[in-house]
Amino acid sequence: MAMNVATPVYEGPFDMLLQLILKEQVDIYEVNLSTIVDAYLAELDRMQELDLDVATGFLLIAATLIELKARRLLPNMSDLDLDDELALWEERDMLLARLLEAKTFKDVAQVFAQLASEADRSFPRVVGPDERFAATLPDMLEGTSVTRLRNAAISALTPKPIPTVDLFHINPIKTTVADAVTELLDELPRIGRITFRRLTADLGERVEVIIRFLALLELFKQGAIELDQPERFGDIEIAWSPDDSFDSEAILIDTYEG
Amino acid sequence: MTDDILNPIDDQVDEFKRAIESIILVAHDPVPAELLAQLIEQPTMLIEQWCSELAESYSQAAHGFELVQIAGGYRYQTAPDLTPYVERFLLHDQRARLSGAALETLAIVAYKQPISRSQVAAIRGVDPDGVLRTLQARGYIDETARDDGPGQAILYGTTTSFLEKLGLASLDDLPAIAEFIPDADVVEALEDGLRVTPQVDVAPREMSQNEPGGSSDGASWP
Amino acid sequence: MTDDILNPIDDQVDEFKRAIESIILVAHDPVPAELLAQLIEQPTMLIEQWCSELAESYSQAAHGFELVQIAGGYRYQTAPDLTPYVERFLLHDQRARLSGAALETLAIVAYKQPISRSQVAAIRGVDPDGVLRTLQARGYIDETARDDGPGQAILYGTTTSFLEKLGLASLDDLPAIAEFIPDADVVEALEDGLRVTPQVDVAPREMSQNEPGGSSDGASWP
Q: Which of residues 34-63 of B touch A (CB under 8 A)?
A: none
Residues of A in contact with C220 (CB under 8 A): 77-78
H-type alpha helices, chain B: 10-26, 33-40, 44-60, 83-92, 100-112, 117-124, 129-137, 160-166, 184-191, 205-210
Contact C137 A1 (CB under 8 A): yes
Q: How far does chain B reach from its first CA to its final CA, in angstroms?
A: 79
Distances from the Cα of A71 to the Cαs of C151, C196, C199, in angstroms? 38, 7, 11
Query: Are residues A118 and C167, on separate chains, in Cβ contact within 8 Å?
Result: yes
Contacts of C86 in chain B (CB under 8 A): 22-23, 26
Mean pLDDT over B55-84 rounds to 96
| Separation between Cα atoms, residue B131 and residue B108, nearest integer Å | 12
Q: Which of A248-252, B58-62, B185-189, B213-217 has the highest mean pLDDT?
A: B58-62
Query: Greater confidence, C118 or A47?
Result: C118
In the sheet where B141-146 sits, what is the strand order?
A: B115-116, B154-158, B141-146
Q: Model confidence at A3, in pLDDT bands (50, 70, 90)?
A: very low
Q: Band the pLDDT of B106: cuts 50, 70, 90.
A: very high
Determine contact: C39 vs chain B, CB below 8 A.
yes
Q: For residues A214 and A63, is the Cβ–Cβ distance under 8 A?
A: yes
Alpha carbon of A1: minimum distance to chain B alpha carbons (Å) = 9
Q: Are A102 and A18 in contact (CB under 8 A)?
A: yes
Which stretch of DSSP H or E encloses residue B74?
A: strand B73-78
Query: Are the beta carbons of B59 and B51 closer than 8 angstroms?
Result: no
Residue A133 has pLDDT above 90, yes or no: no
Give the residue extent of every domain in chain C. 2-83, 100-177
More confident residue, C38 or A49: C38
Confidence (pLDDT) at A166: 34
Mean pLDDT of chain A: 75
- So what's the architecture of B100-177 in CATH? Orthogonal Bundle (1.10)
Contact residues, chain C, for B26 at CB < 8 Å: 78, 86, 89-90
* CB proximity under 8 Å: C 137-196 to A: 137, 164-168, 175, 177, 180-182, 186-187, 189-196
Q: Of the candidates B31, B85, B125, which has its C-beta nearest C22's C-beta?
A: B85
Chain B hits for C78, CB-CB cut-off 8 Å, are 22, 25-26
Q: Which chains touch B (3 or more CB pairs under 8 A)?
A: A, C
Sequence-separated (6 or more) residues with CB below 8 Å from residue A131? B137
Question: Residue A231 contacts by C-beta under 8 Å, 6 or more apart in sequence?
Answer: none
pTM assigned to the model: 0.70
pLDDT (mean) for C55-59: 97
What one-character-per-residue DSSP string does chain C give? Answer: ---TTTSPPHHHHHHHHHHHHHHHHH-SSPBPHHHHHHHHTS-HHHHHHHHHHHHHHHHHTT-SEEEEEETTEEEEEE-GGGHHHHHHHHSS--PPPPPHHHHHHHHHHHHH-SEEHHHHHHHHSS--HHHHHHHHHTTSEEEEEE-SSTT--EEEEE-HHHHHHHT-SSGGGSPPGGGGSPPHHHHHHHHHHT-SSPPSS-SSHHHHHHSTT---S-TT--
Span C2-83: which CATH code? 1.10.10.10
Please state, in angstroms and rounded to a whole number, the distance separating the CA atoms of residues A229 and C141.
44
Query: How many helices and strands in chain B, by DSSP H and E?
Result: 10, 5
**Higher-confidence residue: C116 or A250?**
C116
Please report the pLDDT score of residue A50 as a whole number. 62
Q: What CA–CA distance (Å, rounded) separates A50 from C127?
A: 11
The closest alpha carbon to B98, from A140, A135, A143, belongs to: A140
Which of the 8 DSSP states describes residue A6?
S
Q: CB–CB of A28 and C103 under 8 A?
A: no
Q: Which chain A residue has the Cα nearest residue B217?
A: A147
User: Best mutation site among C22, C54, C91, C159 for testing chain B: the one with the most B CBs within 10 Å?
Assistant: C22
> Between chains, do B202 and A155 touch, taking CB under 8 Å as contact?
yes
Residues C112-150 have pLDDT tens digits of 999 999 889 888 888 888 899 889 888 899 999 888 877
- In chain B, residues with a C-beta closer than 8 Å to the C-beta of A126 are 26, 130
Lowest mean pLDDT among A47-61, A105-119, A151-165: A151-165
CA distance C61 to A151: 53
Question: B182 vs A159: CB contact, 8 Å cut-off?
Answer: yes
- Best of A121, A147, A151 to substitute, by most chain B Cβ atoms within 10 angstroms, is A151
Q: Is the pLDDT of residue B211 over 80?
A: no
3-state secondary structure of A15: helix
Which range, of A26-40, A93-107, C154-168, averages the lowest pLDDT? A26-40
ipTM beyond cut 0.90: no
On chain B, the residues whose CB falls within 8 A of the CB of C139 are none
Please give the Cα distance from B79 to C14 (Å, whole number): 13
Query: Comparing C62 with A173, which gets the higher pLDDT?
Result: C62
- pLDDT tens, A185-229? 888 888 888 888 888 877 766 667 777 877 887 788 778 888 887
pLDDT of residue C69: 96
pLDDT band at A258 (very low <50, low <70, confident <90, very high): very low
SS3 A220: helix
Q: Which has more pLDDT, C216 or C157? A: C157
Question: Residue C173 pLDDT more than 90?
Answer: yes
